[in-house]
Amino acid sequence: MEKKKAVLNLLLLLILIALIVVAVVIWRNDAKNRKNEKVEENITLRSIGYGSVVSQLGYIDSGAILNTFISGYNEHKGETVAAVMDFVGMYIFSECDDPEKEFDSKYLEYMRADSKINTEEVIMLQYSAKQQESALIDSINSTNVKLEVIENTEIENVSKYLAKFKAKIRTVSAEEGIDQEDWVDFWLLHNGEVYYVINYYNAGE
């Protein structure tokens, strides 16, 4: 009887030790995560200029983004559309094979104040951003189509710096013989409290 009791006490002791070990591991992981979150919050970002001709206008919801985007498009004011976009973010987005997994780390690689990225890569980013902005403005200024929002989703935060939403958009052009509706994916840079468009294309492409 005493032997059974001793064995039982030993098993209980082993279980208690195992629970303590598990609790310590969980506590350490939680403390590490909290420390990483604190470090992440203290990251200072820089600005990379490229000679833009527009002033950025960030918005906090998809409806406001679409209102500016569509009105600029329909009034053939390319600078209005460019104002809701971030072409530096667009370049970084294009550098990602899987943006949902890679965008944040790639964004910080370029944008954190203590970035170690080489000068040639920054120059390439600046050149590309300037070309993309100019091409978009010229394209919208000369377009012959009209856009209409049918419906749209709310913004979904994918990660700290990346977000997205969808919009069903009607495209009409008498000259081109177009009258169609398509779902469009809008990808956004989440910068502070506001969002900027960094890419958009027909869903499924």
Residue 114 has pLDDT above 60, yes or no: yes
Q: Would residue 179 count as lying in a domain? A: yes
Task: Report the distance separating Cα 54 and Cα 180, nearest Å.
Answer: 31
Across 64-78, b (16+ Cβ under 10 Å) vs e yields ebbebbbebbbeebb
Residue 21 has pLDDT above 50, yes or no: no
Q: Would residue 160 count as lying in a domain? A: yes
The predicted structure's pLDDT at residue 115? 84
Task: Report the distance separating Cα 153 and Cα 185, nearest Å.
Answer: 10
The predicted structure's pLDDT at residue 159? 94
**CB 104, CB 93: distance < 8 Å:** no
* pLDDT classification of 169: cutoffs 50, 70, 90: very high
The predicted structure's pLDDT at residue 29? 55
Mean pLDDT of 129-148: 94
Q: Would residue 2 count as lying in a domain? A: no
Residue 177 has pLDDT above 70, yes or no: yes
56-82 pLDDT, tens digit each: 989 999 999 999 999 999 999 999 999
The CATH number for 112's domain is: 3.10.450.100
43-52, 101-110, 164-173: which has the minimum mean pLDDT?
43-52
Q: Would residue 36 count as lying in a domain? A: no
The predicted structure's pLDDT at residue 47? 86
Task: Give the residue numbers spanning the domain of 75.
Answer: 62-202
Residue 53 phi, psi dihedral angles, 5° rounding: -100, 5
Q: Would residue 191 count as lying in a domain? A: yes
pTM for this one?
Answer: 0.77
**CB 182, CB 171: distance < 8 Å:** yes
DSSP run (H or E) holding 156: strand 156-157
The predicted structure's pLDDT at residue 96? 94
The predicted structure's pLDDT at residue 205? 58
Overall number of domains in the chain:
1
